[in-house]
Structure 1
């Protein structure tokens, strides 16, 4: 597996991964919120994001990372390859870019907090809502550096 920069033609695959991962891990979202977030991600976020992609030997995208300075804005892996090191490879790449990276993990997504905490992230706070004010609590985490 390699990490490479994304290209415009990779956006549909990143969106496919985002949708599959959210469907697998974010069952707590209301249908209306899921649709609203999907539109935001598809129309605004992914087409304008600087994607870093985890690709297999055939250059098939397995997961993606989006950074904003020290902030991990997005890290999503195709559920078909969960548990195979794709997320860890993307996170390690993020930590090379920002050793003290920060991330907001959904408190209701059962996979997010264990993933980050198992890799050394520590809790620094909590918000009752997501950035748009929806009732989805976030846990704020920071990596202590290497």
Structure 2
């Protein structure tokens, strides 16, 4: 069954934050607890409002995964770890590429599963930055898809 993609509302932000935190804890083992706590309020206050969000809900109506994009770039893609491998991330990314013009994404170098996912979806590493967008020592790989 194909995944139904929709636009979440601000009332969905608490659930988006839950999905983000669960996914980060499952895949970003290089982050310390203080890093996670620092980022959480920024997501709701700054990051979510700056991107166009899309999501997929499970049969229970709860959001299972979401993607945020802006100006041709995937800025965030997170799937509830209970749904990893179910095609939700692939469906959200395919929609962003096909219908929203997304051709770029940044990935933490220390997150090899995410890198492998994007490479499998046709993205290629274009360049590397030694620091993340917040100036922290988490190298970022800049990927592009033609």
TM norm. shorter chain > 0.5:
yes
2:42 to 40, 43, 67: 40
Tell me what 2:127 maps to: 125
Q: Give the Cα–Cα distance (whole angstroms) in 2 for the partners of residues 37 and 26 of structure 1.
A: 13
Q: Tell me, which stretches of 5 or more residues in structure 1 are unaligned? A: none
Shift in Å at residue 27 of structure 1? 1.2
Q: Does 1:105 align with 2:107?
A: yes
The runs of at least 4 consecutive aligned structure 1 residues that moved more than 4 Å come to none
Which moved further from structure 2: 79-88 or 53-62? 53-62
Shift in Å at residue 56 of structure 1? 2.7
The number of aligned residues is 144
2:57 to 55, 59, 63: 55
Encode CA deviations 1:79-132: one digit per residue, 9 max, x unaligned. 000001000000101111344510000110121100000111011000001011
Residue 100 and residue 51 in structure 1: after superposition, are their counterparts in 2 closer, same or farther (change >3 A)?
closer
Tell me what 2:95 maps to: 93
Shift in Å at residue 55 of structure 1? 1.7
Residue 105 and residue 115 in structure 1: after superposition, are their counterparts in 2 closer, same or farther (change >3 A)?
same
Which moved further from structure 2: 67-76 or 52-61? 52-61
Q: Does 1:75 align with 2:100?
A: no
Q: Tell me, which stretches of 5 or more residues in structure 2 are unaligned? A: none
Shift in Å at residue 54 of structure 1? 1.1
TM-score, with length taken from structure 2: 0.91
TM-score, with length taken from structure 1: 0.91
What RMSD in Å do the two structures reach over aligned CA positions? 1.6
Q: Give the Cα–Cα distance (whole angstroms) in 1 for the partners of residues 144 and 49 of structure 2.
A: 27
Secondary structure of 1:111's counterpart equals: helix
Q: Does 1:134 align with 2:136?
A: yes
Which moved further from structure 2: 11-20 or 90-99? 90-99
